[in-house]
Amino acid sequence: MGAVTVNWAGNLTYSSQRVERPETLEQLQELMAGTDPVRALGSRHSFSDVADTTGVHVEVDAIDDGRPPVELDAATGVVSVNGGLRHGVVATALQASGRALSNLASLPHISVAGAVATATHGSGNGNQCLAGDVVGLELVTASGDLLTLRRGDADFPGAVVALGALGVVTRVELATRPTFDVRQDVLTGLPWDALAENLDAVTGSAYSVSLFTSWDEPTVREVWRKALAVPGEATPAAVGPDDVLVALGAKPATGPHHPIPGVDPAACTAQLGVPGPWHERLPHFRLDFTPSVGDELQSEYLVPRARAVEAIEALRRLGPVVAPLLLTSEIRTVAADDLWLSPFDEDRIGFHFTWVADGQAVRAVLPRLEDALLPLGARAHWGKLSTVPLADVAADYPRFADFRKLAGHLDPAGRMRGGYVERLLAV
């Protein structure tokens, strides 16, 4: 049993009475069959209270269910993992077996089940959020029953991005692909007009592309490109003059960069075109470093890809308002999926904001952002800070009523609800 705890950023003290870390499925089932409210607790990287509860928090990373924590089926390429493991740990094990996931988030430190439950994502025009790799789930419901759902089951699309409302996920089954190498290059000073006129070419110039800005700068400060590299083939040491971004006015970086200006890039994954395995390039930060520069807050809004240029123009107009509170802001693209509560019902572009740790000032500026982006069809990230009215959130998801019905079926007493989720399901 552990003490009440805070989230990774320190901006939220959880309301739970205690934290339990069962070592067997039977212990978890006994706990779930009780009467206390229960919620799973992952790596605590959510900035909202989406994972909160007034009852018991459960961590599943220590559960021994008789299988290896990372179990790869060589015949199908599907890997079954303990849901409490960090993505970086799973990725390292997969790489040792010659396999890979399709993508990773900027932080490899986040738990698999938590990232899946909140539709956390990486970048890339053709890459879905991390939940897109999920082909199966095992969870313990509020009654203490063990439930397995796999792609093809009627309720599967409602159970993947589920905000922890259906049960405690103990295992996640993920599709994998053969391992691949990636080179990461940073370019600076991309003109805004060039981005607006060539958005598809810029974001499609590599397997995964991220752009960093503070919205008040004369150009896009940095473009981080993660391009596929062929193992064994000679890789150019530098970005050449015929590169699409160079042709648009960007300049190749001459040294490593951090997403936040002025911060030592030692915690960042290797840049300057040095090729390496996927799990050491797709994240922005290395697993063996703690990437945070200190206290911070985060928000993110996912806008339909077709409205991306309008969103960029609107945010540039807000530059003087948001820049004083920003550490950095990131632009990423994400492909559509079919999951009920995934924000990615269509191809979308994410506008991520890493704020200074001033909650009052940040919450005061969020309505300005939302007034600009919500009319364009934006959806807020489940695990980040926003002030979008919950009735509007629910109305924006066509399958929300089906999800609420599923949650009520698996948890009729509402024990798996708390914090944001309890308020959302009450609208």
- For 75-117, the DSSP string reads TT-EEEEETTSBHHHHHHHHHHTTEE-S---S-TTSBHHHHHH
pLDDT of residue 121: 98
Structural domains in the chain, sorted by start: 70-179 (3.30.465.10), 181-380 (3.30.70.2520)
Alpha helices in 133-219 (DSSP H): 156-159, 192-197, 199-203
pLDDT of residue 187: 98
Among residues 22, 21, 23, 3, which one has the least CA distance to residue 13?
Answer: 3
Average model confidence (pLDDT) for the chain? Answer: 95
**What 3-state class would DSSP assign to 17?**
coil
pLDDT of residue 231: 74
pLDDT of residue 1: 58
What are the Cα distances from residue 238, in Å, to 137, 234, 244, 283, 368?
A: 43, 12, 14, 21, 41
pLDDT of residue 295: 82
Euclidean distance between CA atoms 163 and 160, whole angstroms: 9
Say what the pTM is: 0.96
Structure tokens that stand for 37 in this block: 């409210």
Neighbouring C-alpha atoms within 13 Å toward the C-beta of 148: 6
pLDDT of residue 234: 67
Structure tokens that stand for 234 in this block: 């000679």
For the chain, 427 residues long, the average pLDDT of each consecutive 10-residue run is: 77 94 97 94 94 97 97 98 97 98 95 98 98 98 97 98 98 98 97 98 98 98 95 76 95 96 94 95 91 79 98 98 98 98 98 97 98 98 98 98 98 96 97
Q: 56-58 and 18-20: which strand pairing?
A: parallel
pLDDT of residue 2: 58
pLDDT of residue 291: 62
